[in-house]
Amino acid sequence: MRVLNDYWTQKAKREGYPARSVYKLQEMEERFHILRGVKKILDVGASPGSWSLYVLRTVHPTPHVVAVDLSPLSLPAHENLTFIQGDITDAGIVKKLLSEAPFDLILSDAAPSTIGIRTVDTARSQALVEAVLGLASPLLRTGGSCIVKVFQGSDTRQILEELGRIFQKSRSFKPKACRSESFELYCIGLEKREGFN
């Protein structure tokens, strides 16, 4: 399977993306059309920047992307890109994001640093997912959507239930471009309910 993983990495390099994760977003876009018509996007856990770059390159007219991460992006400056460096669980960072709201779409590929102990890693992932879902209410406009990365073994059912409360439609999806040995999938909420603030 390493050959397949190298395939995605080489493809990303050839196409000028800093990470192979771009093909997961591409696949979700082809399946769910989450980027259609969006004007303002929040990209959580955006570094090194493939998802933000994919949006800036492929969506027309170009939306405004607000990217947030603990680490800097590996992207050149772009007039439609605002980068906020910091932790999305930090009140100061949330305040900055509030000043940028409302968003049409929240993308989160954020992943905690892992230590290789499954229970600890999934608990950290679950906490990060909850932090992202907590942002959907104040930051996302009615009708907006959200994609959030989840480590398998997290309580996916509970996450989907929470998404179902906020959004009209919710589902999970595992893109082909996820490493075969990887334990991640994405939970997707489409069309934020009216009055959910």
Ligand X SMILES: C[S@@+](CC[C@H](N)C(=O)[O-])C[C@H]1O[C@@H](n2cnc3c(N)ncnc32)[C@H](O)[C@@H]1O
- Note the residues at the interface with ligand X (CB under 6 A): 18-19, 21-22, 45-51, 68-71, 87-89, 109-112, 128
Min. distance of Cβ 112 from ligand X in angstroms? Answer: 5
- With both helix axes pointing from N to C terminus, report the angle between 91-100 and 118-139 in degrees, rounded to the nearest 10: 40
Min. distance of Cβ 135 from ligand X in angstroms? Answer: 11
DSSP secondary structure code for residue 177 in this structure: T
Question: What is the rounded CA–CA span in Å between residue 22 and residue 52?
Answer: 9
Question: What is the rounded CA–CA span in Å between residue 12 and residue 115?
Answer: 27
Nearer to ligand X, 125 or 170 (CB): 125
In the residue annotation, 24 being an active-site residue is answered as no
Nearer to ligand X, 17 or 167 (CB): 17
Element (H, E) at 195: none
Active-site choice (149, 174, 176, 192): 149
Min. distance of Cβ 147 from ligand X in angstroms? Answer: 11
Nearer to ligand X, 18 or 164 (CB): 18
Residue 172: exposure state from Cβ atoms within 10 A (0-12, 13-18, ≥19): middle
- Which residues carry out catalysis? 149
